[in-house]
Amino acid sequence: MRWTLKPKPDSKIVEDLQKALQVDRSVSTLLIQRGIDTYEAAKTFFRPSLDDLHDPFLMKDMDLAVERIEAALLQNENILVYGDYDVDGTTSVALMSSYLKTKSDNIATYIPDRYDEGYGVSYKGIDFAHDNDFTLIVALDCGIKAIDKVNYAAEKGIDFIICDHHRPGNDLPKAIAVLDPKREDCEYPYKDLCGCGVGFKLIQALASKEGQSVEALAEYLDLVATAIGADIVPITGENRALAYFGLQVINNNPRPGIKVIISEVDKKELTITDVVFIVAPRINAAGRMKHGNHAVTLLTEMDLNLAAAYAIDINKFNLDRREADQRITKEALIQIEENGEEDRLTSVVYHESWHKGVIGIVASRLIETYYRPTLVFTKSGDKLAASARSVKGFDVYNALEACGEHIEQFGGHKYAAGLTLKKENYEAFKQAFEDEVSKTIDRNLLTPEIQIDELIELRDITPKFYRIIRQFAPFGPGNMTPIFMTENVQDTGYGKCVGEDDKHLRLTASQGSQKIIGIAFNLGNKLELIQNKKPFKTVYSIDENHWQGKVSLQLKIRDIKG
């Protein structure tokens, strides 16, 4: 692991904020690292408010989208709410369809089949709309590159409204409205909304025309918070407020579908991390293993007993998904070894039988072993389809763009993308991708980095300090859990390996008279560094340990060096 200590902010700014807020210097430093350098900014950060959300009509084309939906509702048109099969897509469809159904009975939903139709807007979906007399499609979390498909729909008398957050191409589809904060001509102040977030802005705009406040839409925020966590968008600015209030809904009054998912979890209060690892995989599993419709059905069901019955299926899909991703990961690792590709700068693997629904997860798993840009391919119809994942700091989207001559179609983000190509182009693409990454990547990025916020002493870790740190939540990209480093620490002599195969390390860190328990997951191999009271330095976050009714602070250790 590469340890990188973040630069110290200007001491005058740290001091001024410290005085204004009456907090420790450490807290002031952490805030400034997050771009919070005034009393007002800190107030907004610590006390998020839905009133801080931007006016949705600042988004390009929002007025056109609202006007078209209002006309459709007035004329009793059939509206089809269309979305992708992942968490962001299915939560978006659940959100938009639930809201529109409070205005009209002529609302239906459509999720493309991952295997039959693939990602995004499909001709089959448009044919379905035409055959069933839909005259308006609201597409969420997809559509920004669906130029030909939107034209095809127009020929059939179907209008499109697109709500997307992916990077647009050079041309935009000729839809009635294209809502995407990443449009170059869109001056919306916050660019990092997820697809469900863009959908929420549209219902906020529709509601405001009826004189409704944003608070009246709070019941939908459990869906938005789930999408924010699952899609790994920055939890800053507007996303932070949406996630903050969405977590309140999840913890206090979630919709039945989410309630039954979390009912098996023995936890008083769920965090965004819990949402990412408990709620999101189950919702995702439907689209991965069977069909995204199952997720939408669960998320829109208002009867708790029916939701519980749907959740049984969802849990089964999730178990199947887990089994598939473990097996395929093992096979992919063997393929890398057998091909002698351990020393390449990229991992590109393919097998025609691999389940298309889990290749994205497998790509992420491979990065845990070989930390480098990764693509996992499988057969999809007469083509090959892949999921791409990247390492921190490297833009895989740009790298794929540079290999465009070998690719049929691709789209996505800096760190995650999807693509298709002809089977005969696979080997040429694999080499071109390796060559492009070799040319453009900073070799340091191929070693995982721990970014350290501050160097502190163990005596700085007090209950009051931890209480303030907790108020930095919800954590996520752009506002990660604070990571600290402490030097010249010793174990009290009772440190030991714990867990299956002695994988983990449990110790008591001491510095002077200060002592605190530490747990280091997957660091059992570091036992030697702490034995015989040898001094060491450690990087960690702070959390609570609940044991036999007692609560105490502990270090969640990320790495140890002698």
The per-residue pLDDT for range 36-88, each reduced to its tens digit, is 999 999 999 999 999 999 999 999 999 999 999 999 999 999 999 999 999 99
**Residue 81: per-residue pLDDT:** 98
411, 166 contact by CB (below 8 A): yes
Selection from 238, 267, 234, 236 nearest residue 250 by Cα: 267
List pLDDT tens digits, range 256-282: 999 999 998 878 889 999 999 999 999
CA distance 351 to 353: 6
Selection from 427, 438, 472 nearest residue 453 by Cα: 472
Please tell me what DSSP assigns to residue 202. Answer: H
pTM, 2 dp: 0.91
The segments of the chain whose pLDDT lies below 50 read none
Tokens representing 18 are 């410290």
* Own/partner pairs, 342-346, CB within 8 angstroms, 24+ separation: 342/370, 344/372, 344/434, 345/372, 345/373, 345/434, 345/437, 345/438, 345/441, 345/446, 346/372, 346/373, 346/374, 346/375, 346/433, 346/434, 346/437
User: How open is the CA angle 451-547-516, to the nearest 5 degrees?
Assistant: 45
Contact residues for 91 (Cβ-Cβ < 8 A; gap 6+): 196, 223, 224, 226, 227, 230, 283, 299
First to last CA, the chain: 13
Angle at which helix 237-252 crosses helix 195-209, to 10 degrees, equals 80
CA distance 383 to 411: 16
At residue 426, the 3 state secondary structure works out as helix
What residues does 484 pair with on adjacent strands? 454, 540
Domains along the sequence of the chain with CATH: 56-312 (3.90.1640.30), 339-446 (3.10.310.30), 450-561 (2.40.50.460)
Rounded to whole angstroms, what are the CA distances from 168 to 147, 205, 384? Answer: 11, 23, 23
Residue with tokens 């609202």: 66
Please tell me what DSSP assigns to residue 288. Answer: I
